[in-house]
Chain A
Amino acid sequence: MKSCKTEDLSQSLPDRIDYFLVCASYEDRCLTSYNYIDSMKVKSAAVFYYEQFYENVIDNADLLVEKFKAKKYILDNYKPTTIADAVVNYFSIESDFVEEKPNVVVDVSTFTRESLLILLRYLQINKDSFKDIVIYYRSADVSHNLSDAVLSIRSVIGYMGDIDPEKPTHLIVLSGYEYERAKEIIDVVEPDYISIGYGGKGESINDDIQEKNKIFTNKLIAYYSSDNIEKFTHSLVDINVLKNKLIEIIFSKEGYNVVIAPLNNKISTISAGLAASENPKVQICYAQMANYNVVDYSTALDTCFVEKLEFN
């Protein structure tokens, strides 16, 4: 996966962008495209945002819409179908690419994990309609308190898997920093076996983030004190490296239902999505939270990661 300075991001993207998708957020890094991508190279754009965060995101949304003459999509955090519908709508009304297949560029930095996975699934199903699908991710140092109060845990649209109630469950958690969220998922899924991963040294955004991630994971494991937990480290900067690792872990327990809970950064979320798409029996679950730390969620860093997605 290619990394670059944020100011050099534009050079790492296609010269012409046919479809550009970005999610307006309360995080400053949602404005990366506003600051560093020339609007002239973007043929069509969609700006998504959640109505639940309207007051905190509308200024950023307006900036993006104005710069890219983008279509605005309002999503409902409580109804994941609104994400699927918005994606379907955007690609269906902007489909006048007759000469050659269009490319797609997605700023994945500030999509929620659920919306990102749904978008990814749509792109995977319709991959033959597109030339290249490129994502970029601007890294950030995230706050200690990202969210609180789990409202519900559900499968992500497009990743319901094929769960056999008679088989035991293997839960793979890519743990981030949200303790309550991870704990609630483990408690609700009640897995018979847990594989819990965190960013490895040299495979994370930086050493400080890696250390925080490791401490958090150890705390979570301590809570469960079970024999049936396996810890692993993984990449948070390379989609395909983690995807392959996940596939290896999925097959490590035969005869189990597999559920993945991606709770770390968006790069690892995409890896989870790709691994599950290649193994349709695998389910991805998502914990919807009641509150997000909209004031102090993250501080954008100066590195971007860019990748052309390959769907098998």
Chain B
Amino acid sequence: MNPFSVKTPETLTPDAIASLFIDVLSDFPRLLSPEHTFLHGARGTGKSMMFRYLEPQVQLAANNVASSSELKYFAVHMPIKSANYALSELERLDGAPYFLMAEHFLVMSSAIHILSSLKSLINENGCLDESDIRQFYRNVVGLLDDSGVSNIPEALEKDDSFLNELSRLFERERANAKRYIAKLAFTEESIPYDDALLDYEEFFLPFVRYVRGLCVSPNGPIYLMLDDADNLPIRMQNIINGWVSYRSTNDVCLKISTQQKYKTWRTSQGVLIESSHDFSEIDISAVYTSKHFSHYYERVEQIVKRRLEVSGFLDMEPLAFFPEDQKQVEGLEKIKKQIAENWDAGNGVSSRKSDDITRYKTSEYMKYLASIKKTNTYSYSGFRSLVDISSGMIRYFLESAARMYSELEAINGSETINFIPTEIQDRVIYKWSEEYVLEEFDRLRKDETNINADNLNKVEKLKRLINAIGQTFQIKLLSSDSERRFISFMLSDYPGKEEQEVLDLAVEWGYLSTKTIARKEGVGRNILYVLNRRLAPYFKLDPSGYASHMSIRPEHLSLAINNPSEFVRARLEKKTNSSRTQQSEMDI
């Protein structure tokens, strides 16, 4: 088995999650507190895995508790897939009919997920007071009856469970709603809905209270975890926001994950829900790329160690499994020594010797490789480097590691694998970086002067922007400027609409990530755009540590989008004179 293979968390069993998951929850304490929470993070940052880990079945499998009733919350994972909710027929309804039907649909789906989780808990625990369940069944049936649900069976069939019968009732109501929605396809006229419509306040909250009353239920509120809520149509997001506005956190806390594309913060009544007042917010990327508080490296180290253990690599250290290129390590050591000597001789730039070493060692080594025309031999191997390149996204690390492992397995046949050779690490990581850029970038680089910018679509503009930024950073790294290591930029002023759209697309697709930093002037904050470190091998950049931020004027950004070569020239030209005066010559 490949220790690094990535599978969708939804398809993993509780045992698999319990064995693979490294507890990162201490990095996100608010996720566990009894309040409504929005959890924002790009694809692959581990949102679904975190949600699934909170499920009682997984907590039991991880031996964190002996019985589900010991848990302080009852976490129910509800993946939001567009195929379930973005139904065009439903959009035919306007106003109240839409909101009633859509809420009914959401309530039914939520109740079905809760019931399904409850059933699996009962199956696992085995213990249950039949009368407890019977009473629960009667209570819920009473609720359904009060809400207008008809044809509820008088008595249960033999050998049937109460919970299965409730599932069938819920499924039936959802199927009724679907049949009704399908009927809307080719008619403009309003069609009456003859079945019951269940809502949040009158049905769902009392239902949740009955669930909480069961002896098998964890001892706290239900955490309904809506995973990827940006896949909901905007009006359904309004409904969810309405649920957030309820002070219902004693019974149900909504834990809502998004890929930062959630479209509205208003309820169906038009009321704005507000962060800290109605809900808390967590941004995974901000936590994992924070300069001072990130535990990302340690987290990946734990995850890799655990995966290696599960696959039979006992006591294997990730640093040993992904070794560095020794020749390069030695070369860098020599450079570091020279920089230190240079600093000792009074020719340093930074006030501390170690700062000079950090700032210039990779640059000087790259320059050396460039002087012998061997920049392509720069090695990105080594666990630390691979973690840096994964850019705060666990999945990025695992995907590339899985490829390295399969490639080695294919070469090795039945021979035991003890580590991933540096050549394989480099081959895979370079290719993996190139794929992210796609061949299109090369084509654009060659053709850029021949293409009329007006005809370029946004994707091509994005590619040009990334290409321009990457090339500029690369040239700076090979320069003798005092500041050479760049991986991020900030704008000196607000960009135009076109440039902002391209930046937004870059962020949405993960080529750039954003964070805010305090302005040097001391008032307000600036948006910092950080290049995805996955691009580092492609552009021959240094992925490690926290480099300087390049300041870019909006007109230069426009140039980057429309004429990358001109941008590179303009951006570097601007700095040439000033950098010469700042620079201390280093004789290396």
A149, A158, A160, A295: the one within 8 Å of B178 (CB) = A160
Cα A23 to Cα B188 with chains together (Å): 22
* Residue numbers in A under 8 Å from B89 (CB-CB): 155, 157-158, 160
Q: Give residues 228-272 of B contacting A (CB, 8 Å).
A: 228, 231, 233
| Distance (whole angstroms) from the CB of B430 to the closest CB of chain A | 14
The answer, yes or no, to whether A299 is at the interface (CB within 8 Å) is no
| Distance (whole angstroms) from the CB of A106 to the closest CB of chain B | 17
Question: Does B455 contact A81, Cβ atoms closer than 8 Å?
Answer: no
Name the CB-closest residue of A to B43.
A187
Cα A152 to Cα B91 with chains together (Å): 13
Question: Does B186 contact A257, Cβ atoms closer than 8 Å?
Answer: no
**Which secondary structure characterizes the binding site on chain A?**
mixed
B11, B113, B460: the one within 8 Å of A192 (CB) = B11
Tell whether A122 pairs with B186 under 8 Å between CB atoms, given A148-B457, A160-B181: yes
The answer, yes or no, to whether B459 is at the interface (CB within 8 Å) is yes
The answer, yes or no, to whether B369 is at the interface (CB within 8 Å) is no
Cα A252 to Cα B505 with chains together (Å): 36
A145, A158, A166: the one within 8 Å of B116 (CB) = A166
Name the CB-closest residue of A to B179.
A162
Tell whether A180 pairs with B459 under 8 Å between CB atoms, given A80-B88, A187-B43: yes
Question: Does B185 contact A154, Cβ atoms closer than 8 Å?
Answer: no
* Residue numbers in A under 8 Å from B458 (CB-CB): 148-149, 180, 291
The answer, yes or no, to whether A179 is at the interface (CB within 8 Å) is yes
Question: Does A160 contact B457, Cβ atoms closer than 8 Å?
Answer: no
Chain A: interface residue total (CB-CB under 8 A):
50
Q: Which residue of B11, B457, B501, B505 has the most chain A CB atoms within 10 A of its CB atom? A: B457
Contact string against A for B residues 357-377, beta-carbon threshold 8 Å, 1 for contact and 0 otherwise: 000000000000000000000
Contact string against B for A residues 283-307, beta-carbon threshold 8 Å, 1 for contact and 0 otherwise: 1010000010101100000000000
Q: Give residues 450-507 of B contacting A (CB, 8 Å).
A: 455-460, 501, 505
The answer, yes or no, to whether A241 is at the interface (CB within 8 Å) is no
Cα A240 to Cα B462 with chains together (Å): 40
Q: Give residues 413-465 of B contacting A (CB, 8 Å).
A: 432, 435-436, 438-440, 455-460
Question: Does B457 contact A81, Cβ atoms closer than 8 Å?
Answer: no
| Distance (whole angstroms) from the CB of B409 to the closest CB of chain A | 13
Name the CB-closest residue of A to B178.
A162
Chain B: interface residue total (CB-CB under 8 A):
48
Question: Does B88 contact A169, Cβ atoms closer than 8 Å?
Answer: no
Question: Does B88 contact A145, Cβ atoms closer than 8 Å?
Answer: no
Cα A147 to Cα B440 with chains together (Å): 17
* Residue numbers in A under 8 Å from B505 (CB-CB): 149
Question: Does B88 contact A156, Cβ atoms closer than 8 Å?
Answer: yes
* Residue numbers in A under 8 Å from B338 (CB-CB): none
The answer, yes or no, to whether B87 is at the interface (CB within 8 Å) is yes
Cα A84 to Cα B89 with chains together (Å): 10
Tell whether A160 pairs with B182 under 8 Å between CB atoms, given A145-B460, A165-B112, A225-B403: yes
The answer, yes or no, to whether A227 is at the interface (CB within 8 Å) is yes
* Residue numbers in A under 8 Å from B440 (CB-CB): 219
Contact string against B for A residues 134-174, beta-carbon threshold 8 Å, 1 for contact and 0 otherwise: 00000000000101110011111110111101101100000
Name the CB-closest residue of B to A158.
B185
Contact string against A for B residues 154-193, beta-carbon threshold 8 Å, 1 for contact and 0 otherwise: 0000000000000000000000001001100111100000
Cα A145 to Cα B460 with chains together (Å): 9
The answer, yes or no, to whether B79 is at the interface (CB within 8 Å) is yes
Cα A145 to Cα B454 with chains together (Å): 12
Question: Does B116 contact A223, Cβ atoms closer than 8 Å?
Answer: no
* Residue numbers in B under 8 Å from A93 (CB-CB): none
The answer, yes or no, to whether B8 is at the interface (CB within 8 Å) is yes
Cα A49 to Cα B155 with chains together (Å): 57
* Residue numbers in B under 8 Å from A154 (CB-CB): 82, 86-88, 91, 233
* Residue numbers in B under 8 Å from A249 (CB-CB): none
Question: Does A160 contact B10, Cβ atoms closer than 8 Å?
Answer: no
Question: Does B86 contact A152, Cβ atoms closer than 8 Å?
Answer: yes
Cα A94 to Cα B510 with chains together (Å): 52
Name the CB-closest residue of B to A89.
B188
B185, B228, B231, B436: the one within 8 Å of A121 (CB) = B185
Cα A223 to Cα B189 with chains together (Å): 45
The answer, yes or no, to whether B350 is at the interface (CB within 8 Å) is no
Question: Does B83 contact A179, Cβ atoms closer than 8 Å?
Answer: no
| Distance (whole angstroms) from the CB of B223 to the closest CB of chain A | 18
B79, B91, B112, B455: the one within 8 Å of A296 (CB) = B455
10 residue pairs from A and B, CB less than 8 Å apart: A149-B458, A152-B86, A155-B88, A161-B83, A165-B113, A169-B83, A180-B458, A188-B82, A192-B11, A219-B440
**Beyond the given A154-B233, A225-B432, could you list 8 further A-B residue pairs with CB under 8 A, ordered by the A residue number?**
A81-B91, A81-B188, A145-B459, A155-B88, A160-B89, A188-B231, A189-B83, A291-B458
